[in-house]
Amino acid sequence: MGANQSVCGPCASTRTGKAGERQTDPALATVAAWIRAREVGNVEEAAALCHQDFVFSSPQLSLTGLDKAKARLFAQVAPEPEAILMPLRLTSEGVVYREISFKVGYQRLAIRQEWTLIWDEQSKRALIGSVSATRV
């Protein structure tokens, strides 16, 4: 598999992640591990699951590069969802997504998160290349 190719496909095992999300694909398992790391504020674990060319975009923040993500995005603990509106799913194009709601102060927000994984030749594994968050 070459650089910057999306990764998807079944793996031999099935496991259940947080909130009962079934993990039947390596892409889903990687994203679920990243979510767990972000929700407990583990900067290094979240970063280890990302490609050096990591890109993040949301209405509030856009950044490019893993070092910037570690300093700005991963340094903040991600809010745990109040509700999982749609659990992790994988598109036929290899994009992982979910929809969640959470509270920020007195405001309740619903967002769709999308992750794209890319093959990293150096580590010989799929890493998160981009994350986007949009309001739903």
Query: Could you report the average pLDDT of every consecutive run of 10 residues in the chain (136 residues)?
Result: 37 40 78 97 97 95 96 92 96 95 90 96 93 96
Cβ atoms of 49 and 33 within 8 Å: the answer is yes
At 105 the pLDDT is 85
Give the number of other CB atoms < 10 A from CB of residue 60: 6
Q: Say whether 84 sits in a helix, a strand or coil.
A: strand
- Quote the pTM value: 0.81
Phi (first) and psi of residue 118, to 5 degrees = -130, 155
Identify any residues that bridge with 111 across adjacent strands, giving them in sequence order.
100, 135
Rounded Cα–Cα distance for residues 134 and 136 (Å): 6
Rounded Cα–Cα distance for residues 18 and 52 (Å): 26
At 58 the pLDDT is 95
At 51 the pLDDT is 96
Burial of 129 from C-beta contacts in 10 A (0-12 / 13-18 / 19+): buried
Domains and their CATH numbers in the chain: 15-135 (3.10.450.50)
